[in-house]
Amino acid sequence: MDVNCGGYIQTHGVSAYQQGKITGEDIDRALRNLFAIRMRLGLFNGNPKYNRYGNIRADQVCKKEHQDLALQAAQDGIVLLKNDAGALPLSKSKVSSVAVIGPNGNNASLLLGNYFGPPCISVTPFQALQGYVKDATFVQGCNAAVCNVSNIGEAVHAASSADYVVLFMGLDQNQEREEVDRLELGLPGMQESLVNKVADAAKKPVILVLLCGGPVDVTFAKNNPKIGAIVWAGYPGQAGGIAIAQVLFGEHNPGGRLPVTWYPKEFTAVPMTDMRMRADPSTGYPGRTYRFYKGKTVYNFGYGLSYSKYSHRFASEGTKPPSMS
Q: What is the pLDDT of residue 59?
A: 86
**Segment 249-273 mean pLDDT:** 96
pLDDT tens for each residue of 123-177: 999 999 999 999 999 999 999 999 999 999 999 999 999 999 999 999 999 999 9
DSSP-derived pairing of the beta strands 206-211 and 164-170: parallel
Q: What is the pLDDT of residue 325?
A: 77
Q: Is the pLDDT of residue 3 over 90?
A: no
Q: What is the pLDDT of residue 94?
A: 94
Nearest alpha carbon to residue 75 among 231, 308, 306, 243: 243
Residues 144, 209: one domain? Answer: yes
Nearest alpha carbon to residue 176 among 212, 148, 149: 212
Residues 100, 46: one domain? Answer: no
Residues 73, 40: one domain? Answer: no
CA angle 280, 283, 288 (to 5 degrees): 40
Residues 161, 243: one domain? Answer: yes
Structural domain harbouring 167: 64-249
Work out the percent of the chain whose per-residue pLDDT is above 70.
100
Q: Is residue 263 part of a domain?
A: no
The radius of gyration computed from the CA coordinates of the chain, to the nearest angstrom, equals 25
Banded model confidence at residue 5, pLDDT cuts 50, 70, 90:
confident
Q: What is the pLDDT of residue 144?
A: 96
Q: Is the pLDDT of residue 320 over 80?
A: no
Residues 197, 233: one domain? Answer: yes
**Segment 24-39 mean pLDDT:** 96
Residues 68, 160: one domain? Answer: yes
**Segment 204-232 mean pLDDT:** 98
The gap from C-alpha 289 to its chain's centroid, in whole angstroms, comes to: 18
Residues 144, 213: one domain? Answer: yes
pLDDT tens for each residue of 63-103: 999 999 999 999 999 999 999 999 999 999 999 999 999 99
Q: Is residue 272 part of a domain?
A: no
Alpha-carbon gap, residue 139 to 186, rounded angstroms: 22
Q: What is the pLDDT of residue 234?
A: 97
Q: Is residue 293 part of a domain?
A: no
Residue 215 is part of a domain; what is its CATH number? Answer: 3.40.50.1700
Q: Is residue 153 part of a domain?
A: yes
Alpha-carbon gap, residue 106 to 133, rounded angstroms: 15
Greater confidence (55 vs 252) lies with: 252
Helix, strand, coil percent content, the chain, rounded in steps of 5: 30, 15, 55
The chain-wide mean pLDDT, for the chain, equals 94
Banded model confidence at residue 193, pLDDT cuts 50, 70, 90:
very high
Q: Is residue 190 part of a domain?
A: yes
CA angle 108, 106, 205 (to 5 degrees): 125
Look at the chain and report how many structural domains it folds into: 2
Q: Is the pLDDT of residue 33 over 90?
A: yes
Q: Is residue 277 part of a domain?
A: no
Residues 17, 147: one domain? Answer: no
Alpha-carbon gap, residue 83 to 310, rounded angstroms: 15
Q: Is residue 311 part of a domain?
A: no
Residues 76, 127: one domain? Answer: yes
Residues 161, 234: one domain? Answer: yes
Q: Is the pLDDT of residue 269 over 90?
A: yes
Q: Is residue 19 part of a domain?
A: yes
Residues 223, 245: one domain? Answer: yes
Residues 157, 42: one domain? Answer: no
Neighbours of 35 (CB within 10 A): 12
Residue where a domain stops, chosen among 249, 267, 289: 249
Q: Give backbone dihedrals phi and psi of 123, rounded to 5 degrees, phi first.
A: -130, 120
Q: What is the pLDDT of residue 54?
A: 84
Q: Give backbone dihedrals phi and psi of 222, rounded to 5 degrees, phi first.
A: -60, -35
